[in-house]
Structure 1
């Protein structure tokens, strides 16, 4: 999920539709199956009252409309996590059929959920995925024998290659019940269930010893300090090169010419037909004209970097690299009072702080939740703010941009270590599943990138509108000069920035990238660029982030984090300015 957190009901099911719950353990390929089977009317949302996301979609097969709901991945129905609770609630809402995806490389573990689902009165079809990987690992599964043991249809599939999916749709239409059936499982495994699982596995699965493939060896290497750390550094450099270099190229070739040569002149000409020179004209299309900046800032400056960042994020998620990074960084994170599994919400913070903070609900202790939320608010720039940083520094000083990233990472480690020592509480052992290392499915990853990019553009527009309108009013009415004079000792004296930089302090409260974008309009020295960037990096979280901090942790913690970020922003930015000015004067 991204910066929005919509809570919507499942797609409505008409009387002539089949509602299918797509269920399975995490990382069994459900998202690929969903992407392959659905076409239009796709909806990503949170289950009502939770932060657990799901995706719904509809497809038509042989005249029958199928409504497919991708239920959050879960290992059981024991109601010990938000994902399990959502899965149980969806079963209680009813379905015509359950389509349960099993991982052919981890059949024994998957059968625990399969047998629990069998306790429901809802018809069920099983699809065994990753059979190509299983074959490479010397694993063979007798799906006919497995169907007899489970007393339900079992179909072999390789979802990423579209193999077996038509047979799945055939079986869905054939097996689905006529009426909607509900189920309220108690989540308690049947007596001696694991013995039953072992008996089934002995009958249907054969393993032949084989040499590990290069992909398996690469996946193992990524878990070890050597060569895992060099691989992680290489991944980081490639990602940075793609986002920064690719974003600059996209801006130069497409976004800037389209915006500055076509869209903005057309807007100004249109406004000039109805409004003459004056206050209203300047507010609409002046220096901070609402109609101009509403196009220029999100579309020409931020979108290229956001789009490429979401490509990197989706690839890391769908390839199975993210959990490996968590294992690799577990020791480092433990010094910060965290365990390796928290790398996921931390990395999500580079997309948006809101879902990252909500994602801390999956943490096992309150201490971990508080540390992650504080670090995300303090030292991790969101995707739109990162895009603004790149737009500001990419063409003026790559050195300052790299220094900004180092400062961000350094602050993350130092602040984490301090909080890990002063905040009471324990750190639970890391329980993190390591999926197979895969090449992401093109269709699934494309859809994920599109949904995230679209949601960013939709969610950003309203706050950007108010922020830009406020900027235009402050500039055109002279309020900015009054405010700048009031805080001149802080902005110009301590931090060495021009008085008009105070505008960034006002707008940064509304959205994080608005703390950076006004600096684009100013002629700043290299030192001022660094100081302004440090202020924006550490500055108060935007209103959306403050709102979710208040909701998750209460007013006391939310205010504490805001005070910490503001204090850090002004102190470290001013310190850099004073030391930098001293060194420049000395040399």
Structure 2
């Protein structure tokens, strides 16, 4: 965001960069504010030595370069969670300004963090967000009075409509210190702190009675079994329709024509200038040619579904619907040894299993962590694997595709119930904040979709390259035929798949979608497609997921989960094949 109006009262603090820590409770709109303020050099990363993520970016205002670090959302600075520890570490590293975002609809809760930051020597600017939502709820906040109480600038803001952003940047330039200042906040006794919060809130806030809006009533309805469950079912149908139907349309209209009619012929023509036949030619552009499949598989087959899945995920996250789904499914999850808050890492598993497993650190018990990690590894297909399933089954049989999702859901519930009873440990009560139901900000959602899609395409390239190169070598050297002969009783006998399907078993270890994509190259019956998909669904976690399991739980747990998935893949797929074969023979 670049602003260049000529307000003589504001001058650049210095010629070098201003470091700003963007802080606040979860769900106060920090991600929207960050997206609005920064539009270049955005970096997402984990804080050193942790799995807690943060984002940094740069902007320029009145000729001054400003670096903004989006600190993980935290309710306090009392080191009771990894996010709070990271927030304190970042304060200790120093900043020129802290921009603390307060939620105008939950002022008292937000003042808990504000009073702790008030003790720091780092200059602070407070921004009260959601002022429009607060007004609709009958809440009036006197920001000038709040500024006097906190001893720092307090600005009203409606970030989603760009209101207050320029004024915040102006204040940052006004109050920024001339050198980095660090902060080790002291501890105010909780009883004393909450008394002060109550006094300030009573002085600066007025709440008038008024009837709830339709949007507020809808948010409340989503928490109730009726009509919450029908709404959840409708949301699921819309999401599935968008990802599956929209992905097929994108592939047919754009991705496949561009890949098959333009990119692949150009690659083959270019390679033919230097190599015309033989092993090298086949490795590059043959049946499993690295240069062809490196474009075809991730770009033409997976990307359309990944892109649309991230649109759905971003909307569910930024609208405030995800916590409501957690409340709605709390009873179901408790039968699985989990509480409703675990809906977040479980849903993240449909994006990628690795961050979903890392996300279990927010769980309150070790039992919950083990159950979520096992379920994500066993029964939840990641976004790229889902895209491969849709590409494999969508053209042949929508019924089989829906059966795959049904098998995944059924396994999730049954396996969760079994582990919930067998694994010792308790289930803590669900403590989950329910944010306001909001229409997501287009710019923030677009930025999030872009970053996630870009990261997927970048992260997938190296494993895909090695996987495809291995496939090409096995095919061209005859190793695949030898390996297929060795495991023929398992693949051709028990599973009823062609011998060359053994390639998918090898590649699936590298990346989960590679356990599906080789099946696209084979002429399989509908039953074989279902069997192959069941194998891929349950099959061993990819190397990246296994590494995360090892890091988080140790080698014994990682090997146990990998062994469980391998056994489940072959056992249940074989059962499907045997039953399916009997039915086919019968009719």
TM-score range with shorter-chain normalisation?
over 0.9
Show the counterpart of 1:169.
169
Structure 1 residue runs of 4 or more that deviate by more than 6 Å after TM superposition: none
Q: 1:545 to 1:15 in 2, by over 3 A?
A: farther
Q: How far off is 1:75 after superposition? A: 0.3
Show the counterpart of 1:494.
494
Show the counterpart of 2:5.
none
Show the counterpart of 1:9.
none
CA distance in 2, matches of 1:187, 1:266: 65
Show the counterpart of 1:11.
none
CA distance in 2, matches of 1:173, 1:443: 25
Q: Secondary structure at the match of 2:128?
A: strand
Worse overlay, 481-490 or 183-192: 183-192
CA contact (8 A) 1:531 1:577 kept: yes
Q: How far off is 1:144 after superposition? A: 0.8
CA contact (8 A) 2:15 2:64 kept: no
Q: Residues 134-213 of structure 1: matches in 2 within 5 Å? A: 134-189=134-189, 192-213=192-213
Q: Secondary structure at the match of 1:356?
A: helix
Q: Secondary structure at the match of 1:192?
A: helix
Show the counterpart of 1:116.
116
Show the counterpart of 1:340.
340
CA distance in 2, matches of 1:93, 1:86: 11
Q: What do residues 143-186 of structure 1 show as CA deviations (whole Å, max 9, x unaligned)?
A: 11111111111100100000111111111100111111001124
Show the counterpart of 1:3.
none
1:309 aligns with 2:309: yes
Q: Secondary structure at the match of 1:41?
A: strand
Show the counterpart of 2:217.
217
CA distance in 1, matches of 2:523, 2:397: 13
Q: What do residues 477-525 of structure 1 show as CA deviations (whole Å, max 9, x unaligned)?
A: 1111111111011001001000000000000000000000000000111
CA distance in 2, matches of 1:188, 1:479: 68
Structure 2: any 5+ residue segments left out of the alignment?
1-13
Q: What do residues 269-301 of structure 1 show as CA deviations (whole Å, max 9, x unaligned)?
A: 111111121111111100000000000000000
Q: How far off is 1:37 after superposition? A: 1.0
Show the counterpart of 2:522.
522
Show the counterpart of 1:100.
100
CA distance in 1, matches of 2:213, 2:457: 42
Q: How far off is 1:16 after superposition? A: 1.1
Show the counterpart of 1:376.
376
Structure with larger RCO (C-alpha < 8 A, sep 6+): 1
Q: Secondary structure at the match of 2:19?
A: strand
In angstroms, what is the RMSD of aligned CA positions? Answer: 0.9
CA contact (8 A) 2:335 2:420 kept: yes
Show the counterpart of 1:426.
426
CA distance in 2, matches of 1:202, 1:274: 79
1:394 aligns with 2:394: yes
CA distance in 1, matches of 2:293, 2:180: 51
Q: How far off is 1:420 after superposition? A: 0.2
| Number of aligned residue pairs | 574
CA distance in 2, matches of 1:210, 1:396: 55
Show the counterpart of 2:583.
583
Show the counterpart of 1:326.
326
1:49 aligns with 2:54: no
Structure 1: any 5+ residue segments left out of the alignment?
1-13
Q: Residues 401-550 of structure 1: matches in 2 within 5 Å? A: 401-550=401-550
CA distance in 1, matches of 2:191, 2:19: 31
Q: What do residues 359-414 of structure 1 show as CA deviations (whole Å, max 9, x unaligned)?
A: 00110100000000000000000000000000001101101000000000000000
Q: How far off is 1:191 after superposition? A: 5.8
Show the counterpart of 1:90.
90
CA distance in 2, matches of 1:151, 1:528: 70
TM-score (norm 2): 0.97
Q: Secondary structure at the match of 1:223?
A: coil
CA contact (8 A) 1:77 1:186 kept: no
Q: How far off is 1:43 after superposition? A: 0.8
Q: Secondary structure at the match of 1:72?
A: coil
CA contact (8 A) 1:79 1:187 kept: no
CA distance in 1, matches of 2:484, 2:574: 17
CA contact (8 A) 2:116 2:186 kept: no
TM-score (norm 1): 0.97
CA contact (8 A) 2:119 2:186 kept: no
CA distance in 1, matches of 2:245, 2:182: 52
CA distance in 2, matches of 1:64, 1:472: 53
Q: How far off is 1:230 after superposition? A: 0.5
CA distance in 2, matches of 1:180, 1:555: 43
CA contact (8 A) 1:59 1:65 kept: yes
Show the counterpart of 1:18.
18
Q: Secondary structure at the match of 1:571?
A: helix
Q: Secondary structure at the match of 2:581?
A: helix
Q: 1:511 to 1:111 in 2, by over 3 A?
A: same
Q: Secondary structure at the match of 1:98?
A: strand
